[in-house]
Amino acid sequence: MLRIPQAYLQKIDWEGIEVAIYKLQDQEKSSKMKIMHDYLPTRCLLSKRNGQNSSLYPNCQKTSENVLHVFQCSHRSATSAYNVAI
Ligand SMILES: [Zn+2]
């Protein structure tokens, strides 16, 4: 489990997050909350849950597919997919 230092938690604008979430539609709230809580069905999570064969991110095959890596991966196929999605 990811442990976040107390000093870092105090820097988060919790009120701003609450206001932003309040403005979202229900389906958007669900996906954003899953991202925030690292609960998207990534290969890393599925691997832990049910022993999926590989947890590697399919675009780069270099590291485990988790929410952070999905947004940070610099592999060309990952960035082109991201640019199409936004
Ligand atoms: Zn990657």
- Assigned token pair, 66: 């988790």
Mean pLDDT of the region 44-53: 85
Place of tokens 């442990």: 3
- Assigned token pair, 74: 């610099």
The whole-chain average pLDDT of the chain stands at 87
Looking at residue 43, what is its pLDDT? 92
Instruction: List residues, by chain if needed, whose CB lies under 5 Å from ion ligand 1.
Output: 57, 60, 73, 75
Look at residue 37 and give its three-state secondary structure: coil
CA of 51 to the centre of ligand 1 (A): 21
Mean pLDDT of the region 2-26: 88
Alpha-carbon distance of 71 to 55, in angstroms, equals 16
Looking at residue 8, what is its pLDDT? 87
